Structure 1
Amino acid sequence: MRIMVLGASGFIGRQILVELLAGGHEVVGVVRSIGALGAAFPQARFLEMDLAKATRAEDWHGRLAHIDCIVNAAGILRGRDMDAIHADMPRVVGTAAHAAGVRHMVLISAISAREDVPTDYARTKLEGERIVRAAPMGWTILRPSLVYGDGSYGGTSLMRGMAGLPVLIPLPGDGRFAFSPIHTRDLARTVATVCGNPAYFGQTLEPAGPETLSLKELLRRYRGWLGFGKARFLSIPMPLMRLMGHVGDITGSGPIATNSLVQMVAGNAGDGTAFARAIGFAPRSLDAALLARPAQVQDRWHARLFFLAPAIKAILLLLWLASAWLGFAHGVEKTAELVRALGLPEGWAGPLRIGSSVMDLVIAALLLWDRRARWSTAVQCLVVLGYSLVIGFALPQLWLDPLGPLLKNLPILLLICVHGAIGDRR
């Protein structure tokens, strides 16, 4: 079959891509940016589309020709594009798919997308399910519990990060929130099983692993797998967790957000036995999956760096804001000294001081809004290097200053590069 996978570059989408290619299918992946995907998956064909903006019929004109099945693995847990990706885009795709003769559509939803869960994630996911059910073609909806894999993303990355913290693992409330975790490969195998299969048309399945575990037990097992020793827990009151979620909502890059917290508390348990009977194979248990793939040094790095990534971003943000404030409030004498050393007119001192402080504020704003740490990393490096070279040339004695005002720029540059390397969680 020729199968189109929406969101093929994501944590789940990539594994679906691999499974379908292994099954001999012709796969068309729809991604925001192709980048290196073409080299990583030379057997697949890719279309570059921003699904949040692909909400008009003409966006899909000609793109669905000869497609037999569409797998919609696109989804986000937070952000202003939620309605567009979860509801508006699927509505247009359903209409265009019917016109193009597509026979089957598979939607990856979530087991915690329920009417009683008060999040925009649950609301838009449910709307997406309603749209798929109303589509004039075969459809199958998959509502998995927690999805984990050899890698991690989102909630599973958070769990690894929590399990990797030194001394004590912070535990939201009593940690009894239930999950029936399923491996990405088993979910991908499920997708490959149902694609184009009339036996699953009109069905809603809840992919779940063979056991239901509490959050506390999941963290205990992940810590043991990582090799960090015995798990010791520190209970965090839920009001404080909700406050941290609000902070994550505001910054857009915190490890915790309101949606992820509410969806976690809502319950993510499924009936693994019923799912295995419906799909025709038994998904592996968490213990079996962890035993089959022992933790490597990269896994331990990722777990330890998970909370450092937002901490590094926060300290760099504080650095640029403090630099701007110091320039506005206390930089008159230092700027005048620099202007004299460079042989510039004294009248340049004021504009140079104000301009550099404004630039620091602009960099702080760029750092705050650059979710993937691409442009902000390049700009920060260029500006720190520029500051260091100009000031070091004009006032070379500062290189030997006991307080190291210029030498400190070297570790700051490295910190900026580290943030650039680990800031993109995609």
Structure 2
Amino acid sequence: MNILLAGASGFIGRHLSAALLAAGHHVRPLSRRHGADFSQLHSAQHWLPHLAGADVVINAVGIIAEQPGQRFASLHTQAPCALFDACVQAGISRVIQISALGCDDSAFTAYHLSKLAADRHLRSLPLDWLVLRPALVYGPGSASSAAFMQLARLPLLPLPDGGRQLVQPVHISDVVAAVLQALAQGVAGQSVDVVGPQPLRFADWLQTIRAARGQAPAPVLAIPPALLLALLRVGRHLSPLLQPDNLRMLLASRAANPEPLARLLGRPPLSPSPQLFFHADTPGESS
């Protein structure tokens, strides 16, 4: 298939591009590195030249925090909605949207609400759409994984409420496999949560990362969330990941049923193992 991949230079996009090419598809990558400014692609007319010859469109554009020139409304809502409208005009029916776990009626942060708006617009169009909603995605090359690695290596883990929040991390190879299986099977008209096999406490997730690094478990220091939120109002200027809303999303304890993903993959999603933290491929596969 001829596939337009928006967001091809991001963490998920890079892994998707490599896997699609390996599977014999033709990929037209689109990203800032490929000369595309998504903040300027806010009408269907802007997108139509990029769609020539495409059979499938995959949107993997996403940011975890706003920066100058990169705003949630622009990149998560306006540009994707224009892209989806352009697909209708160009007669491209198959569209896969990479959204995020929590983009549903319970959404409350600007990050989730901006992606949810695009998801809803896509579902309203006469397209063979598929919305994939990954949880925290880990694997080599992930900025969030690198940040958690840094946190996990501390001799004492200062965590909100002792890290009792639930997370359900999914390996990048399962995200990629979900897209490949959806293309092969022609899956459409569904919203699938792409999650790990079971939820973990955030503290246990960090201890799992420590084990992958060959480190013993570390003691946990419970920090009041209100104090951490106050600290992040200063820390957000130091790193895009240190945003108060990111902590609020963690405190919301998102978890989901892994069975729909297992049906799509034809197997259960992968459980964390030391190999998976440092390799992009499913064990037993080559890159």
Same fold, TM-score > 0.5, yes or no? yes
- Give, in whole Å, the separation in 1 of the partners of 2:181 and 2:261: 13
> 2:261 aligned with 1:271, yes or no?
no
Deviation at 1:254, TM superposition (A): 5.4
Work out the number of aligned pairs and report it. 276
Alignment counterpart, residue 272 of structure 2, candidates 286, 296, 308: 286
Q: Which has the higher contact order (CA 8 A, sep 6+)?
A: 2
Structure 1, 61-70 or 50-59: larger mean CA deviation: 50-59
1:131-142 aligned within 5 A: 131-142=121-132
- Give, in whole Å, the separation in 1 of the partners of 2:24 and 2:114: 33
- Give, in whole Å, the separation in 1 of the partners of 2:32 and 2:153: 32
Counterpart of 2:5 in structure 1: which amino acid? V
8 Å CA contact retained: 1:66, 1:100: no
1:3 match: 3
Deviation at 1:191, TM superposition (A): 0.7
Deviation at 1:196, TM superposition (A): 6.7
Judged with a 3 Å threshold, the aligned counterparts in structure 2 of structure 1 residues 137 and 26 are, in CA distance, closer, same or farther, namely same
8 Å CA contact retained: 1:179, 1:212: yes
> 2:220 aligned with 1:230, yes or no?
no
Deviation at 1:139, TM superposition (A): 0.1
- Structure of higher CA gyration radius: 1
2:147 match: 158
1:191 match: 179
What percent identity do the matched residue pairs reach?
Answer: 32
Counterpart of 1:256 in structure 2: which amino acid? L
8 Å CA contact retained: 2:129, 2:188: yes
* Gap regions ≥5 residues in structure 2: 280-287
Judged with a 3 Å threshold, the aligned counterparts in structure 2 of structure 1 residues 17 and 254 are, in CA distance, closer, same or farther, namely closer
1:126 match: 116
Alignment counterpart, residue 198 of structure 2, candidates 185, 205, 211: 211
Judged with a 3 Å threshold, the aligned counterparts in structure 2 of structure 1 residues 85 and 293 are, in CA distance, closer, same or farther, namely closer
Judged with a 3 Å threshold, the aligned counterparts in structure 2 of structure 1 residues 78 and 177 are, in CA distance, closer, same or farther, namely same
* Gap regions ≥5 residues in structure 1: 35-47, 296-426
- Give, in whole Å, the separation in 1 of the partners of 2:12 and 2:165: 23
2:61 match: 74
- Give, in whole Å, the separation in 1 of the partners of 2:276 and 2:238: 35
Deviation at 1:85, TM superposition (A): 0.9
8 Å CA contact retained: 2:182, 2:264: no
Deviation at 1:64, TM superposition (A): 0.3
Deviation at 1:197, TM superposition (A): 4.0
- Give, in whole Å, the separation in 2 of the partners of 1:248 and 1:59: 37
Judged with a 3 Å threshold, the aligned counterparts in structure 2 of structure 1 residues 92 and 262 are, in CA distance, closer, same or farther, namely same
- Give, in whole Å, the separation in 1 of the partners of 2:143 and 2:203: 19
Judged with a 3 Å threshold, the aligned counterparts in structure 2 of structure 1 residues 242 and 115 are, in CA distance, closer, same or farther, namely farther
Counterpart of 1:89 in structure 2: which amino acid? A
> 2:20 aligned with 1:30, yes or no?
no
Judged with a 3 Å threshold, the aligned counterparts in structure 2 of structure 1 residues 72 and 179 are, in CA distance, closer, same or farther, namely same
1:383-394 aligned within 5 A: none
Q: Deviations over 1:299-323 (max 9, x none)?
A: xxxxxxxxxxxxxxxxxxxxxxxxx
Q: Deviations over 1:181-230 (max 9, x none)?
A: 111011011111113743x2111111112122110100111112112333
Q: Deviations over 1:21-77 (max 9, x none)?
A: 11100001111024xxxxxxxxxxxxx201122112332232101111111111112
1:14 match: 14
2:259 alignment partner, SS class: helix
8 Å CA contact retained: 1:247, 1:257: no
Deviation at 1:294, TM superposition (A): 6.3
Counterpart of 2:63 in structure 1: which amino acid? I
> 2:239 aligned with 1:257, yes or no?
no
Deviation at 1:172, TM superposition (A): 1.6
8 Å CA contact retained: 2:76, 2:115: yes
- Give, in whole Å, the separation in 2 of the partners of 1:94 and 1:194: 18
| TM-score, normalised with respect to structure 1 | 0.61
- Give, in whole Å, the separation in 2 of the partners of 1:114 and 1:134: 15
Superposed CA RMSD: 1.9
1:241 match: 228
> 2:75 aligned with 1:88, yes or no?
no
- Give, in whole Å, the separation in 2 of the partners of 1:292 and 1:133: 33
Deviation at 1:274, TM superposition (A): 3.7
Judged with a 3 Å threshold, the aligned counterparts in structure 2 of structure 1 residues 153 and 55 are, in CA distance, closer, same or farther, namely same
Counterpart of 1:9 in structure 2: which amino acid? S
8 Å CA contact retained: 2:162, 2:221: no
8 Å CA contact retained: 2:181, 2:264: no
8 Å CA contact retained: 1:117, 1:262: no
8 Å CA contact retained: 2:131, 2:191: yes
> 2:100 aligned with 1:106, yes or no?
no
